[in-house]
């Protein structure tokens, strides 16, 4: 997401923004959190989950594949 005038260096994204960033559904993102596959920040019980861009980028890097990976098995 591009920086906005009020958040020039946005580091934390809400659930919908994080799901959009990863090109997955909000449901799948919540499932990743529930299964321990993606860390989140929460300032208190009942507050929204926030996702660090660094963690989202790390998730992307861990799930990259090449054509060789797909056909090696």
Q: What is the DSSP string of 7-53?
A: BTT--EEEHHHHHHHHTS-HHHHHHHHHTTSS--B-SSTTSPPEEEH
Question: Do 48 and 30 touch, CB atoms closer than 8 A?
Answer: no
- pTM for this entry: 0.77
pLDDT in tens, 10-40: 899 999 999 999 999 999 999 999 999 999 9
């Amino acid at each position: 997401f591009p920086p906005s005038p009020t958040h020039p260096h946005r580091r934390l994204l809400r659930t919908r923004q994080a799901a959009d960033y990863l090109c997955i559904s909000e449901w799948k993102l919540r499932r990743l959190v529930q299964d321990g596959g993606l860390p989140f920040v929460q300032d208190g019980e009942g507050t929204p989950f926030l996702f660090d861009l660094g963690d989202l980028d790390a998730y992307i890097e861990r799930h990259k594949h090449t054509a060789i990976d797909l056909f090696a098995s």
